[in-house]
């Protein structure tokens, strides 16, 4: 059986409660937007495979709860990323650009913060889907570029095919997760 993807990345969505992390996630992975909002409890994730210059990249997108009461849980999931020995790539996404009248942060503030922390900045709207795909694609490209040497050396040492047992194991894990998963209702 042919490989379903060439490389797997885990991306974390971090931010305050109510900023639209789950809505961004649902828009990117399922191209859906649901106006009713159910807060994320703890952490949740979805997967999507995209093609970046001929490389099939499977992305695990982890959606963290923004509420303060869940910080202990969510910190467990991104602690390793904070201390990664080599560049953790980040992008800053200002969501809800479709709600200009309710804007809380000026675009220039977002740009300044992104520049200060040396990251790309996107204003996006999960509602209209504007810049959602672009932001996640850019982040994936940055991670791919940062880890290109490791990926290339791995590709040389591994075969072009996954064993059947590897594929079956992955399918079982994903189906077990899907059975217990609720639909995305931002």
Domain extent, residue 104, equals 7-166
Q: For residue range 67-103, list pLDDT tens digits in order.
A: 444 455 545 545 555 545 566 888 999 999 999 999 9
Residue 129 confidence (pLDDT) above 90: yes
How many CB atoms sit inside 10 A of residue 72's CB? 9
Burial class (CB in 10 A: 0-12, 13-18, 19+), 89: buried
CATH of the domain at 151: 3.40.50.300
Answer whether residue 171 is part of any domain.
Answer: no
Residue 44's pLDDT is 73
Residue 10 pLDDT grade (very low, low, confident, very high; cuts 50, 70, 90): confident
Average pLDDT over residues 136-165: 70
Q: Exposure pattern of 7-17 as b/e (b: 16+ CB <10 Å)?
A: bebbbbbeeee
Residue 128's pLDDT is 96
Residue 108's pLDDT is 95
Residue 178 pLDDT grade (very low, low, confident, very high; cuts 50, 70, 90): very low
- Per the structure, the count of domains in the chain is 1
């Amino acid at each position: 059986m042919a490989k379903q993807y060439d490389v797997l990345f885990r991306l974390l969505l971090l931010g305050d409660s109510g900023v639209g992390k789950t809505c961004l996630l649902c828009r990117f992975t399922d191209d859906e937007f649901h106006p009713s909002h159910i807060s994320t409890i703890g952490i949740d994730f979805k997967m999507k495979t995209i093609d970046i210059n001929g490389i099939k990249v499977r992305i695990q997108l982890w959606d963290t709860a923004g509420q303060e009461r869940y910080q202990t849980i969510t910190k467990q999931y991104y602690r390793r990323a904070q201390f990664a020995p080599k560049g953790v790539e980040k992008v800053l996404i200002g969501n809800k650009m479709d709600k200009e009248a309710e804007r809380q942060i000026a675009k220039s503030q977002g740009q300044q913060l992104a520049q200060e922390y040396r990251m790309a900045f996107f204003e996006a709207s999960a509602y209209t889907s504007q810049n959602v795909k672009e932001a996640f694609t850019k982040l994936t490209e940055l991670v791919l570029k940062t880890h290109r040497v490791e990926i290339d050396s791995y590709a040389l040492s591994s075969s072009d095919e996954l064993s059947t047992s590897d594929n079956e194991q992955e399918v079982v894990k994903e189906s077990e997760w899907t059975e217990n998963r609720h639909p995305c209702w931002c």
